[in-house]
Amino acid sequence: DQNTVLNYIENGDSLVKRFCKSIPYQLEAFFKHNPEDIDQFFSGFAYWIIRRVKQIKEKNDRYDHLIQRLKDFNSQLFKELKDAANGLAEKIIRFQKNHPKCMQFRKHVQNKRKKYYHK
């Protein structure tokens, strides 16, 4: 319904604002030092959020190379980024729990994933 969509948009907007406020100051220095990793960073950050929201467990992260570069540059920066991704994911999960249609869709996706991986 329209109210759910409006709430989602407002919540999404607050997620973006929260991320922008929580960007560690060292990230800009990392980008200056590693300009080739900018696109990969945003893909990796989104991947960490989605992985947490969908409760996907993997032995190897798809962004191991990026993780290693972040840790080599500043291990505290990597920890802050993972905490920010987890915080945003938790906010998304809370939003889904408060909106039953989102939860129905999430359960549908989880069931499809179980069927696919347990063949």
Rounded average pLDDT per 10-residue block, the chain, 119 residues = 50 57 73 85 82 74 81 86 83 76 66 62
- pTM listed for this prediction: 0.60
What does the pLDDT read at residue 51? 81
Q: Distances in Å between the alpha carbon of 30 and those of 18, 50, 56, 67, 75?
A: 20, 23, 28, 12, 12
How far, in Å, CA of 1 to CA of 4, rounded? 6
Among candidate residues 31, 16, 17, 20, the one with its CA nearest the CA of residue 74: 31
What does the pLDDT read at residue 1? 42
Spatial CB neighbours of 93, under 8 Å, sequence gap ≥ 6:
53
How far, in Å, CA of 24 to CA of 33, rounded? 15
- Number of Cβ within a 10 Å radius of residue 55: 11
What does the pLDDT read at residue 2? 45
What does the pLDDT read at residue 21? 59
What does the pLDDT read at residue 116? 61
- Number of Cβ within a 10 Å radius of residue 13: 10
